[in-house]
């Protein structure tokens, strides 16, 4: 059974592994400069600037992450930015990406965000297909994804994920 939960400091080594896996997939492994120390400070220090959810199973451990941070739009106010949604290659197609996305949507709602934003590379057809299937708006140039306040409210999350995010 898959569990979606908030990430902890102890999860960071696996989170970094998944980030490196994503960088390989995106043909830019040399671009990752964030260290575990950076992630500990920035996610769990006195003023955390990001949060994340993990998808895990008892047998395989953490199979995916959704890392986000709060941003601000001068026109719309508070928003969440989904920096990375990563599911390890062997676990793709199991619905984990959808569950992780649901967790971020639920977090956006719970924190009063008026928008959810993210980006996807124009050549990443599997990710583009995923976002289209869930009804996201994709910009044709950079494929910037957005969910307005109304779309966040209309989005149907898995009930267990929504309950877990609310605590």
SS3 string, 53-95, reads EEEEECCCEEEEEEEEEEEEECCCEEEEEEEEEEECHHHCCCC
Q: Are 102 and 162 in contact (CB under 8 A)?
A: yes
CB atoms within 10 A of CB 144: 14
Choosing from 68, 81, 131, 155, which is the catalytic residue? 131
Spatial separation of the C-alpha atoms in residues 70 and 81, rounded to whole Å = 6
Which helix (H) or strand (E) is 30 found in, with range?
Answer: none
Whether 81 is a known active-site residue: answer no
Q: Which residues are catalytic?
A: 131
């Amino acid at each position: 059974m898959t569990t979606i939960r908030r990430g902890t400091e102890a999860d960071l080594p696996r989170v970094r592994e998944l980030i490196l896996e994503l960088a390989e997939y995106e043909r830019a492994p040399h671009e990752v400069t964030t260290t575990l120390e950076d992630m500990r400070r920035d996610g769990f220090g006195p003023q955390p600037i990001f949060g994340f959810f993990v998808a895990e199973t008892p047998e395989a451990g953490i199979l995916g992450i959704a890392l986000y941070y709060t941003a601000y739009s001068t026109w719309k106010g508070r928003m969440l930015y989904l920096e990375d949604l990563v599911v390890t290659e062997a676990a793709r197609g199991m619905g984990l990406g959808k569950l992780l996305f649901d967790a971020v949507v639920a977090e956006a709602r719970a924190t009063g965000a008026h928008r959810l934003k993210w980006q996807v590379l124009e050549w990443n057809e599997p990710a583009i297909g995923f976002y289209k299937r869930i009804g996201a708006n994709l910009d044709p140039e950079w494929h910037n994804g957005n969910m307005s306040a109304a779309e966040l409210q209309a989005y149907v999350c898995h009930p267990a994920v929504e309950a877990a995010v609310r605590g």
